[in-house]
Amino acid sequence: MQTRRPSRGATPAHPFALRQIAQACAWTLLAGAGAALAQSPAAPVALKEVTVNAAAETPESLPAAAPGGKVAQGTRLGVLGNVGVMDTPFNMTGYTAEGIADQQAQTVGAVLKNDPSVRTTTNEGHIVENFIIRGFGVSANSLAINGAFGLAPEQNTPTELFERVEVLKGPGAMMLGLPPAGDVGGAINLVPKRAGKTPLTRVTTTYSSQSNLGVHADVARRFGADQRLGVRVNGVLSGGETWLNHQTKAREIGHLALDYQGEGWNVEADAYSLKNKVRKGSPMQPILTGWTTVPRAPDGSTNFFYGEGVYSNTQTQGLILRGQAKLNAGWTAFASAGKAQHAYDGFIFGTRPVWTPANAATGNATGTAYNSWGEYTTTTAELGLRGQFSTGAVAHKLTLAANVMSYEGGSRANGTAAINSNIYHPRPITMPAGGAASTYNKLNDDVMTALSVADTLAFADDRLQLTLGLRAQQVEQKLSRYKESAVTPLVGLVAKPWGENVSLYGNYVEGLSAGTTVKAPYANEGETFKPYKSKQMEVGVKWVSGSLTQTVSLFQISKPALIEANNRQVLDGEQRNRGVEWNVFGQLTPALSLLGGVAYTEADQTQTTKGVNQGRAQFGVPKLTLNLGADWAIPGVQGLSVNGRVNHTGAQWLTGDNSVKLPAWTTLDVGARYATRFGAQPVVLRATVTNLANRAYFDSIWGAGRVNVGAPRAVRLSAAFDF
């Protein structure tokens, strides 16, 4: 243990600092864009997203976009590589850069608002984005890059670096390995941008409520006689006031992506740096104590803590190398390695006032702010072999892989003295003493290793595909002296009895997860639980009608449950979630695209100690969720389209004893896109309004009796120029 006292508002330094990447990328790109403004293009070109598609589909090639351009026709299934939607025995969705740009989704959380099975456990605008998928938590540090956990930008992950944002529903340990936090509800995989065949120089300017301005430059080129070397650079600078009263937010992002395509081999490298700075508060996360009904929610722009001393910083740098080499006609070796370092300091845990029924009428509340500081380092490596061969009439796609991940770090979190303000009419505060320094505690020194084998057997001209897999996993949590091993299976089945347009699928998968480490504000902060197993069973059907793809899934997931007792997190029984999902993407007509779906989930507490809460619903898991959007190209006006999305979250229990329920809510988002030219210059203008009716509501739950205030109406404008 050691005592650390970082200066107020300072971001901890890293042993290998990549901040220069962000600055160099941003300023170089902006300078290049300024020079390009003085040039006239040789010939008019259409403004469109640039993707890289191999001539022939391989496990490493980027799947093409589906009709409508918002979703891909396939996703990365971990060690199995990229697999088409109709050949995947899982429910997966890959959101494309084109769709992300049209919705002006600046973070991964904003992208996943398209999925009815995904909800958040932090507010929109919070500096940390945590999720629930199929009713189970997925934390901000459980995002993967190209199938490798622990290397993605943490806390509030930007989208400007990525070509795809992919979601796998259900435990992903067999395919993607173990996430650092041991999450089982699903996995989120990010695919970095690469240079395509067409040169790209794009500058996008943005405006967000209230006065947050930004610029994003994206430059891609290929070099050499055969265009073998690819370079793509992305840089983002933004800053200004947000929709939260008095708050300001700034971002610095840089990403350098290199790739070289050799004869029968290729190698890729990604280096990135991300820095977020937030000043004067964060969205409200009230703690409701003693209530029998949920009180009226404050306006989403209300800032409970907006004193000069309220700040938060996050910073992540990463370096990732990947490569593959063709050994012969049927076999390919692949390898990857990476390292990422994450740091944060300040009041990143949000604004958490305690609000009691005695102050129902006045809105007076008392809160404690947690001044936190932490650093984490993740190192990963993977080595594998992928081959295709036949045994008689059966075709095989075999993958062998070995993975290792090291996750090490710690933090300190010190609560201040009481802060008094008002939920509805807050007043500026002077930050009290107590949060400036505390003792650093190392919370994680974990090593997770795995050997996996998976074989997809294809029968009857691929009309029947059976995937069998085994993963030998070991989780060593050195600080807690836990060392657990397990062999977990995967069985996946895809059947196409009526041709390529209908797939019947099913899967059974088990996973070993690292035990959860308790964090502030619980009294047993720092306690780490033993590794545990999770199980999923799922069946479903996927079908293509014209240019529209739909999926219906039935699933059950079970895992040991964490409950809250006396301000502590403890293990008690099992959480079992059962549900049905309908997802849709593609074009209903050439002018009308659909994206979204509906999910119904029943989350129950089972096998509880002495039957406490036995059979009751798990708090924080709404039964009915819906996100359904449409994009319509206006007839007769070339380049103009309008879009909208309905977001609905049903009622959910606020406590484990099912005594108080958080009300349902519905919001509407709208937008427009206009692709045109300014003279010879292609440009795309976009406008988005979220929560159009400016509804005040409690969005979600982050713990028993703990709620998140939903975001207010917000406006975002952008103009993208290609040079």
> Do 171 and 212 sit in the same domain of this protein?
no
> Do 298 and 158 sit in the same domain of this protein?
no
Task: Count how many domains the chain has.
Answer: 2
Contact indicator for 355, 295 with CB cutoff of 8 Å? yes
Residue 318 inside a domain? The answer is yes
Question: What is the residue-averaged pLDDT of the chain?
Answer: 87
Q: Return the pLDDT at 14.
A: 40
Residue 378 inside a domain? The answer is yes
Residue 47 inside a domain? The answer is no
> Do 94 and 212 sit in the same domain of this protein?
no
Distance CA 654, CA 564 (A): 12
> Do 496 and 562 sit in the same domain of this protein?
yes
Q: What is the mean pLDDT of residues 23-28?
A: 46
The residues, any chain, with a CB within 8 Å of residue 371's CB and separated by 6 or more, are: 345, 346, 347, 413, 414, 416, 435, 436, 438
> Do 235 and 130 sit in the same domain of this protein?
no
- Cβ burial, residue 527 (10 Å; 0-12/13-18/19+): middle
Token pair recorded at residue 717? 């404008």
Last residue of a domain, one of 191, 215, 246: 191
Q: Return the pLDDT at 175.
A: 67
- Under the banding of pLDDT at 50, 70 and 90, the label for residue 306 is confident
Please report which helix (H) or strand (E) contains residue 29, including its range: helix 19-37
> Do 114 and 210 sit in the same domain of this protein?
no
- Cβ burial, residue 205 (10 Å; 0-12/13-18/19+): middle
Q: Which residues pair with 320 in a beta bridge?
A: 270, 338
Last residue of a domain, one of 191, 215, 249: 191
> Do 124 and 260 sit in the same domain of this protein?
no
Token pair recorded at residue 547? 């240019």
Q: Return the pLDDT at 401.
A: 94
> Do 497 and 549 sit in the same domain of this protein?
yes
Please report which helix (H) or strand (E) contains residue 176, including its range: helix 173-176
Q: Return the pLDDT at 627.
A: 98
Poorest-confidence range of 131-140, 177-186, 300-309, 641-650? 177-186
- The CATH number of whichever domain residue 573 belongs to comes to 2.40.170.20
| Residue 72 DSSP one-character state | B
Highest mean pLDDT among 153-167, 609-623, 660-674: 660-674
Each residue's pLDDT tens digit, 481-522: 888 888 889 999 999 999 999 999 999 998 776 667 776 667
- Under the banding of pLDDT at 50, 70 and 90, the label for residue 54 is very low
Q: What is the mean pLDDT of residues 357-370?
A: 89
- Under the banding of pLDDT at 50, 70 and 90, the label for residue 159 is very high
- The CATH number of whichever domain residue 187 belongs to comes to 2.170.130.10
> Do 176 and 270 sit in the same domain of this protein?
no
Poorest-confidence range of 123-127, 166-170, 325-329, 331-335? 123-127
Q: Choose between 7 and 108: higher pLDDT.
A: 108
Residue 295 inside a domain? The answer is yes
> Do 178 and 236 sit in the same domain of this protein?
no
Last residue of a domain, one of 174, 191, 208: 191
Residue 518 inside a domain? The answer is yes
Distance CA 581, CA 626 (A): 10
Q: Choose between 313 and 531: higher pLDDT.
A: 313
Q: What angle do CA 87, 91, 97 make, to 5 degrees?
A: 90
The residues, any chain, with a CB within 8 Å of residue 105's CB and separated by 6 or more, are: 111, 113, 159
Residue 3 inside a domain? The answer is no
Q: Return the pLDDT at 153.
A: 86
DSSP secondary structure string, 572-624?
EEEEEEEEEEEEEEEEEETTEEEEEEEEEEEEEEES-GGGTTTTPBPTT--SE
Three-state SS at 633: strand
> Do 534 and 624 sit in the same domain of this protein?
yes
Please report which helix (H) or strand (E) contains residue 207, including its range: strand 200-208
Each residue's pLDDT tens digit, 681-722: 999 999 999 999 999 999 999 988 999 999 999 999 999 999
Q: Has residue 414 got a pLDDT over 80?
A: no
Q: Note down the domain range covering 159.
A: 71-191
Residue 1 inside a domain? The answer is no
Exposure on the CB side of residue 210, measured as CA atoms within 13 A: 10
Q: What is the pTM of this model?
A: 0.89
> Do 230 and 333 sit in the same domain of this protein?
yes
Residue 555 inside a domain? The answer is yes
Q: Has residue 331 got a pLDDT over 80?
A: yes
What are the CA-CA distances from residue 432 to residues 242, 354, 486, 548 (Å)?
25, 17, 49, 57
The number of residues in the chain equals 723
Each residue's pLDDT tens digit, 82-132: 899 999 999 999 999 999 999 999 999 999 999 999 999 998 888 889 999
Q: Which residues pair with 344 in a beta bridge?
A: 314, 374
Token pair recorded at residue 336? 């990857």
Centre a 10 Å sphere on the Cβ of residue 346 and count the other Cβ atoms it contains: 27
